[in-house]
Structure 1
Amino acid sequence: MARTENDGVERFSETHWKSLRYFNLYRLALATLLFFSALLYPSAFPVLSPDRGLQHLAPAGLYLVSTVAAVILAYRHRQHASMQLTSSVLIDVLVMTILIHAGGGLGSGLGSMLLVTLAGAGLVGQGRLVLFYAAMATLAVLFEQSYRALQNDFDAAGFFQAGIFCAGFFAVAVSARLLARRVIANEALARQRGVDLNNQTMISQRVIEEMQDGVLVLSRDGRVRQSNPRARQMLGLNEASDLGLATCSPELAQGFFDWCRGLGEAAVLTRVPASGFELRASFIPTESSERDVLAFLEDMGRLREQARQMKLAALGRLTANIAHEIRNPLSAISYAGELLHEERRGETYERLLRILMDNTQRLERIVSDVLELGRRDRAYRELIDLRDVLPPFVDECCAREHLPADVVSLELSGLAKLCFDRSHFDQVLWNLVGNALRHSRRSLASVRLLVRDARAAGWVEVHVIDDGEGVSEECRDQIFEPFFTTHHRGTGLGLYIARELCDANEAQLDLDSVGPGADFRLLGRAVGCR
């Protein structure tokens, strides 16, 4: 708030300019009073006696003109504030000294006007200038008193009175300056705290808006005073909602009222009909004047999903470690089985050996799938042209499964490009097509690979459709769960790994329809590979 000097240019704060304008307005009011008193009522003041009123009319007029000019400068010319203040104070000292001399000395009472001027200058002025103003007033009063002593007899009481006034000049100027510094410091501190509070409020508001949990401010009668976007989404409210809690969820409102009466728990589990969210609401009282209550809403579905993901992640790490330990003895068992297969010891022996080898191969597939799942985070996406990749894949698939070339059909349309890790895409495609072949009739076009542009711009859909019995309603929610399978030779990890690999490539895999056959849809980006 204080004045600064930069490249020799003086700069005052808005507060200082406002104080300077008020100071000049006070001087203008005083000059107007003196001028009209000298003009109309010269007997109103001892210094303006009837026989001297016209003599003082000219100084009073000049003083009025100078104060008008000072006011105009303070409003129009916002430069050289110290120079404007100094000239105003010196003019006041000169005028008041003339009036004091004309009024017969300090006994006229006009010396107090100098005290007011110095107090105002101390509030507005800067640094050592305040002491300069007090020194000039002191010199003026002492000069006037000395001149009076030369004209008349020496008056010791007059000099004593002048000394008291001079000491008062310095005391008032210094006190006013110290008071001004304290006021300026407090104002600067208040402004800085206001800025800090505003910044903190903005940060807190942004944090609340970005919270994954809903936040409500409830009145004691159950009305929603404030809410963050997540809370409005959970409760099915719009921006302009100012409804009672019972309108959103009667069960939640009942739990809130029970808590207010001390009959219920601090946390309530409820389901909101409008949005379908299952919520856990916690209530916390506040110290506001309205005794408002904070309500924190947690999405139980999200919490369960997070817990499931953490559980699966821990399980994945555990199974990956176990898979590494299993692979070595499993390889030894498989090798021993192959050696035993070379011997011919009867039908029972062959059947038991076949069971051993089949289960060994199944364990090998499970181990391979688990290890592949552990590499899902290492995705290096690139733009894959499906017109170049899918035809060789279809040929290889039919050749590997010893199928006619028309069992798997391919339909390409639109952009037919996909941002995906090439090895991940190959794994996903083999899992989906292998699953489709396993459940299909293996006749003409039993498995269809359909590629087309999605409704959203920049996305592409890859459908793997079979003509089997489809997925029942009971299995739809479990089809992507790990180790869930409806085939006696399946591992239950194929679709789960396929979805995990799609997630790692910012794609989506889901079951698109219910009915004859199954339609698995891969939705991925056609542009924007990073």
Structure 2
Amino acid sequence: MLRRRTAPIDADGGLRRELYFFGLYRVLEASLLALLAFGPTVVLIGPVRSPTLVAATAMAYLAAAALLMIWGRDSASLRAPVFVGVLIDIVVAALATHGAPQVASGIALMLLFNVGAAALFLPLRLGLGCAVLAFAAILGEQLWSLIETGSDRPLAEMLMFGTSYLALATLTNQLGIRMQASEALASRRGAEAANLAEVNELIIRRMRTGVLLVDADGHIRLANEAAQSLLGDAGDGRRVLGVTAPELARRLQQWRDDGTADNTPLRLGSDQEEVLPRFARLLANSEQSLVFLDDTSLLSRRAESITLAALGRFSASLAHEIRNPLAAISYAAQLLEESTDISLADRRMLQIVRQQCVRMNGIVESVLGLARRERANPEHIELVGLVRRFIDDYASAHPLDEDTLQISHASPSLMALVDPRHLQQILTVLVSNARTYGRLPGQPARITLRVHEDEGAPGIDVLDRGPGIPDGTAERLFRPFYTTSEHGTGLGLYIARDLAKANEGGLDYIRTPGGSCFRITLPGPHTLLPEKTS
């Protein structure tokens, strides 16, 4: 069965273009008919039966053709102007055939194209209906001429034209269906390709690896966000690689010349991280090159993450084996200290043994903290009260001696959403570090826990009055295993910041005159969670 077109034809660009050419063809038909009516018709075809009828039909058809072109250009749907236009074509063909029977065959052939073109835009039933109307029109005109003056045209010719109208309408209708399906498929594929191109562009633009497209003359054609960040202010924004990054341009030219790449990291700007460049051709025989800039700091952090993950798995299995002999050594040292036969010098050695056992146990606890990282269970906590309780608990577990630990707050109550166990651990690390490093030589430590709110975000500052932290050391404070003390593990601040991030907060070092400040930033209260003030 013939497939039926179910959806109306929308005035899209492709079909409207075909309708425009169809309108031009109709104007050409009207112009030929006007030439027939007002030209030297006797020379061309001989005497015309009804010159007045042909002239009037030609003038009306020419005006209708112009109006149909305008209608088809402005109409939202193409079906109405196409259907009305083919009806006018049929009527004009019948009248022109009756007025000038000498060119009846030519007019019937020209109408054949009109019927076929109309079926290209219309559903099958309307297309076949137009073909039937065209056949009925030329057959009616034949009967009209036979009754009026008599006609010698054979009936077989009328039947052949009618069959041609039906066949051509069917074929062009199927062609129109396939054409619309192809255009719809092409539009979908084009939209998919455009979306894919946008996705690819977004991926490249947001890649952490810098990507540059450099042509044969050394001009930077494209650069993603990471590359622009790594290039910084080098070259004052100029788009020539040799000016923007001379060393990178030299390495690229060396790679183009002999295919060898220098794999040593380089610094593109005085305030930029080191990058590791990699080169590739855009196409096999293309002179354009892709330059990939890998930030070595990202690579280092990835290596640290892999190292910490491996260390966590290893420490979980090793902790039991370390703790058992460690506990035995510590217990044996305690027993020896209770003996009355131990000399004073030996007792001092036993104290050193116990101190080192405590230190080793602390190292094991810190490393285990990486392995058994627990998820945060945030609660609504009143920070002022929590900090007061923390000071009391810390002072009872860690005698302060001459050191001072106090609270400062502008508001008597401040709510935050945080896991209290995690916050307790973060404060313990920061206060212990402040007691160790935040004191001036020969003076006690002065530590203040300031509870505050900054732009709606609650937080706690741990301040000391020590010598401060040098700039070179401050940049590496939160790196794992970095420490300036021979007794430290370098994991305290790293774990503290990780716990703050697990609570959707942050931990940062703030430079302040006359000491140091570590700021804990916490999320504010959530309306869906109950508040806990105790």
Range class of TM-score, shorter chain: 0.7 to 0.9
Structure 1 unaligned spans of 5+:
none
Residues 419-449 of structure 1: CA distance to partner in whole angstroms, max 9, x if unpaired?
A: 5432222222223323333454798863221
SS at structure 2 position matched to 1:220: coil
State the shift of 1:257 in Å. Answer: 1.1
Opposite residue 460 of structure 1, the aligned amino acid is G
In the other structure, the counterpart of 2:128 is 131
In the other structure, the counterpart of 1:408 is 405
State the shift of 1:293 in Å. Answer: 1.5
State the shift of 1:511 in Å. Answer: 5.1
In the other structure, the counterpart of 2:100 is 103
Within the alignment, does 1:388 sit opposite 2:385 as a pair?
yes
Opposite residue 187 of structure 1, the aligned amino acid is E
Residues 485-511 of structure 1: CA distance to partner in whole angstroms, max 9, x if unpaired?
A: 666665554444334433434444455
Contact 2:434-2:447 within 8 A present in 1 as well: no
1:214 to 210, 214, 231: 210
Q: Aligned ranges for residues 25-174 of structure 1 at < 5 Å?
A: 26-31=25-30, 33-35=32-34, 37-38=36-37, 43=42, 46=45, 49=48, 52-64=50-62, 67=65, 70=68, 74=72, 78=76, 82=79, 85-104=82-101, 109-142=106-139, 144=141, 158-159=154-155, 161-174=157-170
Contact 2:430-2:518 within 8 A present in 1 as well: no
In the other structure, the counterpart of 2:446 is 447
- Of residues 479-488 and 367-376 in structure 1, the stretch that sits farther from structure 2 once superposed is 479-488
Opposite residue 291 of structure 1, the aligned amino acid is E
1:187 to 183, 187, 199: 183
CA distance in 2: counterparts of 1:290 and 1:389, whole angstroms: 66
Residues 249-275 of structure 1: CA distance to partner in whole angstroms, max 9, x if unpaired?
A: 111010111122225328663210254
CA distance in 1: counterparts of 2:109 and 2:261, whole angstroms: 73
Contact 1:412-1:452 within 8 A present in 2 as well: yes
- Of residues 138-147 and 351-360 in structure 1, the stretch that sits farther from structure 2 once superposed is 138-147
Opposite residue 497 of structure 1, the aligned amino acid is I
CA distance in 1: counterparts of 2:291 and 2:384, whole angstroms: 54
Contact 1:428-1:501 within 8 A present in 2 as well: yes
Identity %: 29
Contact 1:482-1:496 within 8 A present in 2 as well: yes
Within the alignment, does 1:497 sit opposite 2:521 as a pair?
no
CA distance in 1: counterparts of 2:57 and 2:470, whole angstroms: 108
In the other structure, the counterpart of 1:298 is 294
CA distance in 2: counterparts of 1:266 and 1:125, whole angstroms: 67
Opposite residue 423 of structure 1, the aligned amino acid is R
Opposite residue 92 of structure 1, the aligned amino acid is D
SS at structure 2 position matched to 1:463: strand
Aligned residues: 521
Could you say if the C-alpha distance between residues 492 and 213 of structure 1 is closer, same or farther in structure 2, counting changes exceeding 3 Å? closer
* Alignment TM-score, normalising by the size of structure 1: 0.81
State the shift of 1:121 in Å. Answer: 2.0
Could you say if the C-alpha distance between residues 3 and 227 of structure 1 is closer, same or farther in structure 2, counting changes exceeding 3 Å? farther
Could you say if the C-alpha distance between residues 266 and 52 of structure 1 is closer, same or farther in structure 2, counting changes exceeding 3 Å? farther
- Of residues 482-491 and 198-207 in structure 1, the stretch that sits farther from structure 2 once superposed is 482-491
SS at structure 2 position matched to 1:30: helix
Contact 2:280-2:291 within 8 A present in 1 as well: yes
- Of residues 86-95 and 488-497 in structure 1, the stretch that sits farther from structure 2 once superposed is 488-497
- Of residues 386-395 and 293-302 in structure 1, the stretch that sits farther from structure 2 once superposed is 386-395
RMSD (Å) for aligned C-alpha atoms: 4.2
State the shift of 1:309 in Å. Answer: 2.1
Q: Aligned ranges for residues 308-327 of structure 1 at < 5 Å?
A: 308-327=304-323
State the shift of 1:319 in Å. Answer: 1.7
Q: Aligned ranges for residues 501-516 of structure 1 at < 5 Å?
A: 501-509=499-507, 512=510
- Of residues 359-368 and 287-296 in structure 1, the stretch that sits farther from structure 2 once superposed is 287-296
CA distance in 1: counterparts of 2:92 and 2:407, whole angstroms: 105
In the other structure, the counterpart of 2:532 is none
In the other structure, the counterpart of 1:199 is 195
* Alignment TM-score, normalising by the size of structure 2: 0.80
State the shift of 1:244 in Å. Answer: 0.7
State the shift of 1:481 in Å. Answer: 5.5
Contact 1:131-1:173 within 8 A present in 2 as well: yes
CA distance in 2: counterparts of 1:132 and 1:264, whole angstroms: 74
- Of residues 276-285 and 345-354 in structure 1, the stretch that sits farther from structure 2 once superposed is 345-354
- Of residues 376-385 and 279-288 in structure 1, the stretch that sits farther from structure 2 once superposed is 376-385
SS at structure 2 position matched to 1:128: helix
SS at structure 1 position matched to 2:314: helix
Residues 39-97 of structure 1: CA distance to partner in whole angstroms, max 9, x if unpaired?
A: 57554653763x74235334445545655665565456656x65654444344334323
SS at structure 2 position matched to 1:324: helix
Could you say if the C-alpha distance between residues 386 and 115 of structure 1 is closer, same or farther in structure 2, counting changes exceeding 3 Å? closer
2:220 to 209, 217, 224: 224
Could you say if the C-alpha distance between residues 42 and 410 of structure 1 is closer, same or farther in structure 2, counting changes exceeding 3 Å? same
Structure 2 unaligned spans of 5+:
530-534
Could you say if the C-alpha distance between residues 181 and 521 of structure 1 is closer, same or farther in structure 2, counting changes exceeding 3 Å? same
Could you say if the C-alpha distance between residues 384 and 143 of structure 1 is closer, same or farther in structure 2, counting changes exceeding 3 Å? closer
SS at structure 2 position matched to 1:361: helix
Residues 461-487 of structure 1: CA distance to partner in whole angstroms, max 9, x if unpaired?
A: 5123154x6667786666656566666
1:177 to 166, 173, 178: 173
CA distance in 2: counterparts of 1:88 and 1:496, whole angstroms: 80
CA distance in 2: counterparts of 1:238 and 1:53, whole angstroms: 85
SS at structure 1 position matched to 2:258: coil
1:429 to 427, 431, 435: 427
In the other structure, the counterpart of 1:524 is 521
State the shift of 1:345 in Å. Answer: 2.4
- Of residues 282-291 and 182-191 in structure 1, the stretch that sits farther from structure 2 once superposed is 282-291
CA distance in 2: counterparts of 1:76 and 1:273, whole angstroms: 59
Could you say if the C-alpha distance between residues 504 and 88 of structure 1 is closer, same or farther in structure 2, counting changes exceeding 3 Å? closer
